[in-house]
Amino acid sequence: MSDFQLIEKEEVASLKFPHKDVMSDKDDKIQRKIDLERALTLGNLEHLKIKIFFEDDSSKKVTETTVWGITADEVILKRGVIIPINRIHKII
């Protein structure tokens, strides 16, 4: 995952996200949802930060943060910053 640029979570709010999903494989999408649920649990119970590898309209990026919530379409970070789930490559 060395081709991802590290950014601060505060910078995410200024990014633009296309609607197209970065994943095409159904099993990968299922795993992404499982990983997000785990990240939410770790964030709420343990206050642990995780890395979210995602893609905006210009490049691949990674941020280290705590997941505060998940909707059907978005991951909610601190201060209401959101990342569309369909733009996430990996969560670790």
pLDDT along the chain (92 residues), means of 10: 90 96 97 96 87 97 95 93 97 95
Largest interatomic CA distance in the chain: 34
Count of CB atoms situated within 10 Å of the CB of 67: 24
Task: Give pLDDT, residue 1.
Answer: 67
Tell me what pLDDT residue 62 has.
98
The total of structural domains in the chain comes to 1
> Can you give the residue range of the structural domain that contains 17?
5-91
Name the residue among 20, 13, 4, 15 with its Cα closest to residue 86: 20
pTM of the full predicted structure? 0.94
Q: What is the pLDDT of residue 48?
A: 87
